[in-house]
Chains A and B, each alone.
Chain A
């Protein structure tokens, strides 16, 4: 079956880089996504990566994919207080399967 796992919490200092990790089990996933959820809100798509790519960069966001180890990471450069939120990775086989989310706290 499909399973996506993430660490629950991450705290960083403002201006530092944040790295959020995710592992998944479905090797046939063709797209992997990162979503951001602020308190009481819906999910906002941050970025995605196609499974034949190793890396994707989009402004402050860098996604790394190790398909052999089924490991996905999201790096946020120069983390700001506005980045405090829950971050979900998700794999897709026509419908999204989400991890439990990582609560990112940015300390001043």
Chain B
């Protein structure tokens, strides 16, 4: 069964350091999403890509977060500098295209900022 791959699985970083997460969506999925899930809450959308273009990044804290999907396949989410409040699970999901279609989530990257 096709999966969304994410790495690393866990990351511990000191505040003010830079950190990056990687996501490889299901082959052929044009739409890719990054969600942040704070402990005890539901996931919240950070950024949505359609192919290599950003469709929605209205909830992305752009002073410290950046995301790219240069070739419209895999994607990287970066935080610089990391803050204590960034500790969360970062989830990547993909779907065949934008709209009401099945979203497949990866296992996530658990970030702890110390």
Interface residues of A (CB under 8 A from B): 4, 30-31, 35, 40-45, 48, 88, 90, 92, 94-101
Whether A100 touches B40, Cβ cut-off 8 Å, given contacts A42-B91, A42-B106, A45-B104, is: yes
- In the assembled complex, the Cα of A35 lies from the Cα of B44 at a distance in Å of 14
**Is the CB of B21 closer than 8 A to any CB of chain A?**
no
Verify A42–B108 contact, CB threshold 8 A: yes
Interface residues of B (CB under 8 A from A): 4, 6, 33, 40-45, 48, 56, 91, 93, 98-100, 102-108, 110
In the complex, which residue of chain A has the Cβ closest to the Cβ of B4?
A42
- In the assembled complex, the Cα of A97 lies from the Cα of B48 at a distance in Å of 13
In the complex, 5 of the A-B residue pairs with CB atoms within 8 angstroms, ordered by the A residue number, are A42-B106, A45-B102, A45-B104, A95-B33, A99-B42
Chain B nearest CB, measured from A58 CB (Å):
14
Verify A94–B99 contact, CB threshold 8 A: yes
In the complex, which residue of chain B has the Cβ closest to the Cβ of A31?
B100
Whether A42 touches B105, Cβ cut-off 8 Å, given contacts A30-B100, A94-B100, A95-B48, is: yes
In the complex, which residue of chain A has the Cβ closest to the Cβ of B104?
A45
Whether A94 touches B98, Cβ cut-off 8 Å, given contacts A99-B42, A101-B41, is: yes
Whether A41 touches B108, Cβ cut-off 8 Å, given contacts A95-B56, A96-B45, is: yes
In the complex, which residue of chain A has the Cβ closest to the Cβ of B110?
A40
Chain A nearest CB, measured from B83 CB (Å):
23
Extra contacts besides A30-B100, A42-B105, A92-B100 (7): CB < 8 Å: A31-B100, A41-B108, A42-B108, A43-B105, A96-B33, A96-B93, A98-B43
